[in-house]
C-alpha cells in the first residue's frame, strides 16, 4: 500500500494489476510442477476490468469534450477524429494552417483541463 502512486488510474486498477501478476505466477508455478510448458506470452485480450475502465475513460473524455466551445469541438473533430491535415482544416475553416495548429494546441490544452475537472 505505501508504494501506491497515482498515475492516472485508480487504486482498483493498481490492485487488479497486482492480483493479475499473482495469478499468472501461480499458473506458471503449477505448470512447472505439472511438467507442462510455461506459456511464452499472456493473452492481450482485454479483461472485463479493462473494458469497464475504458468505458469510464471514454465517458470522461466525452463529458470534457462537451464543455468545449463549438469552435474547439469542430477543430478537434476535424483534426483528431477526422484525421485531416492542418492545410485541409484551414481550407474548411478559412484559416491559415499555422493558425489551425496553434488553435489545436490551445483546444487540446482546454480539453486536458476539462478532463482533469471531470475526473477530479
Cα gap 94→36, rounded to integer Å? 65
pLDDT of 4: 56
The pLDDT-based confidence of 36 (bands split at 50, 70, 90) is: low
Q: Which three cell numbers stand for residue 78?
A: 476535424
Query: What average pLDDT score do residues 43-71 get?
Result: 88
Locate the domains of the chain by residue range. Answer: 48-119
| pLDDT top residue among 23 and 60 | 60
More confident residue, 98 or 46: 98
CATH code of the domain made up of 48-119: 1.10.10.10
Is pLDDT of 10 > 70?
A: no
Tell me the pLDDT tens digit for each residue of 18-31.
777 787 788 777 77
Q: How many C-beta atoms lie closer than 10 Å to residue 75's C-beta?
A: 22
- Cα–Cα distances in angstroms (integers) from residue 11 to residues 3, 4, 65, 120, in the given order: 11, 8, 25, 14
CA distances from 26 to 12, 30, 108 (A): 21, 6, 44
**72, 44 in Cβ contact below 8 A?**
no
Query: What's this model's pTM, rounded to 2 decimal places?
Result: 0.60
Amino acid at each position: 500500500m505505501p508504494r501506491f502512486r497515482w498515475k492516472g488510474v485508480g487504486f482498483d486498477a493498481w490492485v487488479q494489476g497486482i492480483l493479475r501478476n499473482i495469478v499468472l505466477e501461480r499458473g506458471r508455478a503449477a505448470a512447472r510442477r505439472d511438467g507442462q510448458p510455461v506459456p511464452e506470452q499472456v493473452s492481450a485480450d482485454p479483461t472485463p476490468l479493462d473494458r469497464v475502465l475504458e468505458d469510464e475513460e471514454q465517458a470522461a473524455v466525452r463529458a470534457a469534450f462537451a464543455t468545449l466551445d463549438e469552435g474547439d469541438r469542430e477543430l478537434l473533430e476535424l483534426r483528431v477524429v477526422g484525421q485531416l491535415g492542418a492545410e485541409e482544416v484551414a481550407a474548411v475553416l478559412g484559416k491559415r494552417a499555422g493558425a489551425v495548429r496553434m488553435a489545436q494546441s490551445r483546444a487540446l490544452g482546454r480539453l486536458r483541463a476539462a478532463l482533469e475537472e471531470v475526473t477530479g
